[in-house]
Structure 1
């Protein structure tokens, strides 16, 4: 089943690309530039496409991102430090981001003759991001069945939707994902900051998976305090 992977260049989506590639079904990677401050993640996605030998499509959504105001990922708002399970992380929501990206992905898949679109949404995202939850992905499949009725039959694959970030690290490691070549940090600096929600979750996931983390963090120890704070909440 020829599969298009929505690939940001982060740990989750690059791991997913390697998992799909191992089946021999990976057709292409699609990334989106929506004006995110951590746009350097797209470079990681491009390197992944080259490594796996598939086309890489970068869709310019900067005009769309410019009107989806109020997010720390696109506006001049500080990205908060801490764990994803803290209410402060809600400021990183970009309204309808996954719905928009998946809609474009399904259109591209239909035009290119692919049979599936894969996205790396996972259980750790459910608290903050409504468009990463099973209720959303199930409803999106129904909507696309209607949108493409009689034209194309495309499945939405979300193999991580009920899994943890640690599960993804294990799956990525099992399929040779070069984690050091992925980018997660929302602050977009020279190094992963080690303090924002995605850095804390990334560092914690390697710890829980029992797999060495090759990532260089500006603050490599902050995650422990963030996890302890979450546990005591």
Structure 2
């Protein structure tokens, strides 16, 4: 591989966090290959649009749109099972019902296969530990264990670093960092429930809106009247 072009695979959902992580990867000098997963989530079509818009913004030439149908078969999450309501009360204890079983582990495994094929040396994922909804697959420890397993289970000359530039940031810090890097936040989508206008009351909308409020910034996407 030419030393002048180092490649990174960015897991890009179309949300604010993964979009900022992708901009950081570009800023770090990587040629980006973007990966997006359609896994039967409620806002699948809207997230896919966000992904494509952001790929255009970043001038990403190579991208993968991967379909993972079995998450809807498993269910057990409000994101993939229409029989489970997305909570809007704002108070949940333990692991939230919006947690999709081992989702990031599966995403990282598939992305590792793509990274090995493409000769990439880094994978970027926008996990946030301190200000997240309490998902067990968003922690430093989980990511470091996955990195070790991936490098153990790939060819000897494959060396992949999993980069989590946002893991210890708050949502407000993420908003400010995104502003600094001129990230087009108007193209991102975070809502768990709606695809036209964001609901403003699900966990993801609440975290996002609170981040903008603390950062003293205005969120450029449309929300339903609250």
> Is TM (by shorter chain) over 0.5?
yes
Q: Which residue of 2 aligns with 1:57?
A: 64
Q: Distance in 1 between matches of 2:131 and 2:210?
A: 14
- Which of residues 89, 92, 102 is equivalent to 2:108? 102
C-alpha spacing 1:33/1:18, structure 2 compared with 1 (3 Å): same
- Give the CA deviation at 1:26: 3.5
Which of 64, 71, 80 pairs up with 2:77? 71
How far 1:105 moved relative to its partner? 0.5
Aligned to 1:159: 165
Secondary structure of 2:86's counterpart equals: coil
TM-score, normalization by structure 1: 0.88
Q: Match for residue 118 of structure 1?
A: 124
**Partner Cα separation in structure 2 for residue 37 and residue 89 of structure 1:** 19
Aligned to 1:141: 147
Alignment gaps of 5+ in structure 2: 1-5
1:13 to 2:18 alignment = yes
Moved over 6 A (4+): none
Given candidates 69, 72, 80, the residue that maps to 2:87 is: 80
**1:212 is matched with which residue: 201, 208, 218?**
218
Deviation of 1:68 after TM superposition, in Å, equals 2.4
Picking from 115, 122, 136, the partner of 1:130 is 136
The structure 1 residue matched to 2:34, chosen from 29, 37, 42, is: 29
Residue 92 of structure 1 aligns to a residue whose secondary structure is coil
Match of residue 229 from structure 1: none
Structure-1 residue corresponding to 2:193:
187
- 2:43 maps to which of 38, 46, 69: 38
The Cα of 1:125 is off from its aligned counterpart by 5.4
Match for residue 225 of structure 1?
A: none
Tell me the alpha carbon deviations over residues 87-128 of structure 1, each in whole angstroms, 9 at most, x when there is no partner: 287110110000000100111011011110000001245552
Q: Is the 2:9–2:115 Cα contact (8 Å) retained in structure 1?
A: yes
Q: How many residues align?
A: 218
Offset of 1:25 from its aligned partner? 0.8
Unaligned regions of 5+ residues in structure 1, if any? 221-233
CA deviation profile, 1:179-227 (whole Å, cap 9, x unmatched): 111000000331000000000000000111222221211144xxxxxxx
Whole-angstrom CA distance in 1 between matches of 2:194 and 2:77: 15
